[in-house]
Chains A and B, each alone.
Chain A
């Protein structure tokens, strides 16, 4: 008994450095720091400089004053920000509720063709933005006439318009195409969350006469709230750095008349240049920094306000 005690004390006293922890962490931390964190902060730093006569000069917050206040820049920045907000709101009110509804239907206990539906509905999500963008561009094209033809079948032909070409409807159309593509992600995440609800909980609910709709809203929905929270913040971050779909469907100038311009396309044009506009890394960095703080604000709101109010259940 005494020997064992001594041995134990020895171990505690001479605990070796646990190198394996460092080795487990090292590769991930190294790649992540070198390719992501350092460039990110370097971009923030670059936003405080400007090239004057071929020299990089520290200008403080001057670039931001230009982005937010200069008549040449401010209009396009605020326009892009407003469009981006609309883009995000459409995802929140269309994509996520439909995703939840599809997941709820798919997770019903006895359902035939379940795997067929699942596979089919998830399919657009695995396609690239370029494919999706062009496919919908063709379908909505008045030249091909698929969309008016289909609307004619349901007697709504008069409703058709070249939606992508009109400043008033282009942004909504592009957003809905993006919803069509991305709906698989909320659907699958929420589907998995619904499946993880233990049968005992649902059986108990049934014993108490809570079934169908009320079971969904009173039992399942509260249990999957953390997942819905995650889906929402993923949507937010994804939307505020979206670029590919707009670039594919409407080009880098996000036409018509910049009506589909979002922060991602504005960043691309500013930093890389497009047609007559020359690329400006420092102004690009300033816009990237603005996007950084917008996303950071959203994430902080989620982490410190929303997530704390969501109760997590442990099974």
Chain B
């Protein structure tokens, strides 16, 4: 057998495997989105087809938009996620710089102390966190969630960023010092731009668990005004279990903003994850 033909066969197999998995990954989402635009009869009689003139209906969306406060939920999620990522990146990068750049007494201890949180999930402290939030009056505020998520994201951020910051050339920083730049300027002007790919990685790995979290919103901020999308969808669907139109529309409403954002930013996002690796 010629080498060329075997390589064609191999490429085919690779595409078959990746294609099959892609189908598996996309199909459930596709199914929900498509069926959310159908009548109840259409959902059950032709679940795998695109909505036709006969089965098209927006009844589910009407039900959901009349009842739920999805805009508020979405806004809450956005505020919590963006604020948490901002603090995680800023505080995390600062700490990572201190740990990777300077030798001082207790450096290793401090690194270990901060790394503890990578392995020990913050959820295990929930009992005391709730008591603390009750004591400080932060229950049912977005601030409670932002604080918890910042603390949750910091350990991994410090860990990843300090690995990357070690790779920033010493010559560059020393050149900056010779030119009389302060340590703060060196950090913000020289080092931060160079670790941007790592920051993107950290942002992604910080964002996903925060946006998706059900545990802390359920316990710390279950009030109507502070519900996140995740919690809002969970409770709303719980009420409408038997109303298939409403359930499918709620799911679609929860999926669509994320999907749109993801499709717009996926290139940067994935490039961010892998950019540090591509030389």
Contact = CB atoms under 8 A, between A and B. Distances in A.
A64 B215 CA distance: 24
B29 to A, nearest CB: 7
Contacts of B129: 35, 39
B123 A241 contact: yes
Interface stretch (B55-63, B64-72, B89-97, B171-179): B89-97
Interface string B145-177: 001101110110010000000000000000000
B74 interface: no
B150 A131 contact: no
A255 interface: no
Size range of the interface on A? Answer: 35 or more
A123 B124 contact: no
Given A35-B129, A135-B251, A130 B233 contact: yes
B75 interface: no
B4 interface: no
**B interface, by DSSP: helix, strand, loop or mixed?**
helix
Contacts of A295: 119-121, 124
Contact of A241 (B116, B124, B148): B124
Contact of B98 (A25, A195, A284): A25
Contacts of A192: 201, 273-274, 276-277
Nearest to A196: B277
A292 to B, nearest CB: 5
A36 B273 CA distance: 27
Nearest to B229: A128
A309 interface: no
A111 B104 contact: no
A13 to B, nearest CB: 18
Contact of A244 (B26, B154, B215): B215
A51 interface: no
A287 B271 CA distance: 41
Contact of B234 (A138, A149, A248): A248
B254 A131 contact: yes
Contact of B17 (A105, A247, A264): A105
A243 B214 contact: yes
Determine which residue in A35, A43, A244, A289 has the highest number of CB atoms from chain B within 10 A of its CB, and name it.
Answer: A35
A144 B45 CA distance: 9
B248 interface: yes
Contacts of A241: 121, 123-124
Contacts of A128: 211-212, 214, 229-230, 233, 254
A126 B260 CA distance: 12
Nearest to A195: B277
Given A134-B251, A288-B124, A21 B104 contact: yes
Interface string A103-117: 001101001110111
Interface stretch (A26-34, A67-75, A89-97, A157-165): A26-34
A289 B120 CA distance: 11
Question: Counting chain A CB atoms within 10 Å of each CB, which of B24, B28, B184 scores highest?
Answer: B28
Contacts of A308: none
Contacts of B262: 119, 123, 126
A193 B201 CA distance: 13
Contact of A237 (B43, B119, B184, B277): B119
B18 interface: yes
B214 A191 contact: no
A42 interface: yes
B147 A28 contact: no
A35 B148 contact: yes
B151 A32 contact: yes
A124 interface: yes
A169 to B, nearest CB: 19
Interface string A147-191: 001000000000000000000000000000000100001001001
A292 B187 CA distance: 36
A38 B117 CA distance: 12
A31 B87 contact: yes
A224 to B, nearest CB: 11
A129 B28 contact: no
B18 A117 contact: yes
A210 interface: no
Contact of B127 (A18, A38, A134, A285): A285
Contacts of B148: 35
Most A CB contacts (10 A, CB to CB) among B94, B124, B251 go to: B124
B123 A188 contact: no
A122 B270 contact: yes
Interface string B106-148: 0000100110110111111111110110000000000000011
B151 to A, nearest CB: 4
A299 interface: yes
B22 A43 contact: no
B266 interface: yes
A266 interface: no
A121 B251 CA distance: 19
- Nearest first, the 4 closest Cβ-Cβ pairs linking A and B are A42-B128, A39-B125, A24-B98, A35-B151
11 contacts: A28-B95, A35-B122, A35-B147, A116-B22, A119-B262, A145-B47, A146-B48, A196-B276, A241-B123, A244-B215, A299-B119
